[in-house]
Amino acid sequence: MSASSSSTAQKTAPATNNLEPFWMPFSANRQFKKNPRMFVAAKDMHYTTDDGRKVLDATAGLWCCNLGHASPKVVSAVQKQVQELDYAPAFQMGHPKVFEL
């Protein structure tokens, strides 16, 4: 493992007591909290774990990342939209982009 991935893992590794308030649906929570498995990054078709291993995203983020993670086209489109309007409430107001979908 490289020094940079090691430092990333150290920064993102959770303390055991930080896991208690978080419930993960469809997970064996007690087992997870005893031996947490953490993804700390993603690029293209792979996640990176906190110990630097690459893991194939075989579920495509449960069907929402079929272009891969950090796709330059998606990153560019999101960045452009966030610069224009990052959020607008849907309570008695709207914005044009939502109607384009």
Indicate whether 46 pLDDT > 80. yes
Q: List the domain range (segments joined by +) for residue 20.
A: 3-100
Stretch 29-54: mean pLDDT, rounded? Answer: 91
The reply to whether the predicted model has a pTM over 0.75 is no
Indicate whether 5 pLDDT > 70. no
Highest mean pLDDT among 6-10, 30-34, 50-54: 50-54
Q: 9-31: per-residue pLDDT in tens?
A: 555 555 555 777 777 788 888 88
pLDDT-based confidence at residue 50 (cuts at 50, 70, 90): very high
Highest mean pLDDT among 4-13, 16-25, 50-59: 50-59
The Cα 21–Cα 91 span in angstroms is 30
Residue with the larger pLDDT of the pair 36 and 20:
36
Give how many domains the chain has, as a whole number. Answer: 1
Q: What is the pLDDT of residue 72?
A: 93
Give exposure, 16-37, as e/b (b: 16+ Cβ within 10 Å): eeeeeeeeeeeeeeeeebeeee
